[in-house]
């Protein structure tokens, strides 16, 4: 009586081990299919050059009209030499409220962009050489000027 019971226990243990192996293989196959797609390698990440090319094509192409397919990516458009003077020095000015990108062009200052930090919003008035960021707790004002042909920012925080 002990031999059939041992045989049955051994068969149950062997069947359990086989099921564990099969379940592991099925799980690994599923994870592999998710990572590479079911029918192939899937889409590969874009290189920085491909991202630049796609962004340039999106900026250069007119918006799609209804019923027409989206435009195909084009080669990046060259930046005309006259659009950014050779003397334009662009810098990033950081503040607790966000960052401002500005450039000195000739005798003037041009604000290229302003991005609020998390928790802040960009006050909708950009007056000449001043950018304001606001949060629930504070206001940050960045006053920009050109010194030696480069943008410089003075930051004032009001709590």
Write down the pLDDT at residue 15: 94
68 in any annotated domain: no
56 in any annotated domain: no
Domain count, the chain: 2
Query: Could you tell me the residue range of the domain that residue 108 belongs to?
Result: 89-158
CB-based contact 109:131 (threshold 8 Å): no
52 in any annotated domain: no
Please list the residues that pair with 103 across neighbouring strands.
90, 110
What is the DSSP pairing of strand 130-134 with strand 121-122? antiparallel
Please give the mean pLDDT across all residues of the chain.
Answer: 79
153 in any annotated domain: yes
**Tens digits of residue pLDDT in 33-56:** 776 655 555 567 888 888 888 888
Write down the pLDDT at residue 117: 94
DSSP state of 103: E
76 in any annotated domain: no
Q: Which residues neighbour 59 within 8 Å (Cβ) at sequence distance 6 or greater? A: 77
* Gap between the Cα atoms of 100 and 127, Å rounded: 13
143 in any annotated domain: yes
């Amino acid at each position: 009586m002990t031999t059939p019971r041992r045989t049955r226990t051994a068969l149950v243990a062997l069947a359990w081990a086989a099921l564990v192996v099969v379940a592991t293989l099925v799980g690994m196959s599923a994870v592999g299919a998710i990572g590479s797609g079911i029918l192939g390698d899937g889409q590969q990440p874009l290189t920085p050059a491909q991202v630049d090319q796609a962004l340039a094509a999106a900026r250069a192409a007119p918006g799609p009209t209804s019923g027409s397919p989206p435009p195909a990516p084009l080669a990046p458009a060259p930046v005309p030499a006259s659009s950014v003077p050779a003397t334009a020095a662009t810098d990033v000015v950081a503040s607790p409220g966000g960052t401002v990108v500005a450039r000195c062009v000739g005798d003037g200052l041009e604000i290229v962009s302003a991005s609020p930090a998390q928790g802040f919003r960009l006050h909708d008035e950009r007056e000449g050489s001043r950018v304001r960021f606001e949060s629930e707790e504070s206001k940050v004002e960045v006053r920009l000027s050109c010194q030696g042909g480069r943008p410089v920012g003075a930051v004032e925080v009001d709590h």
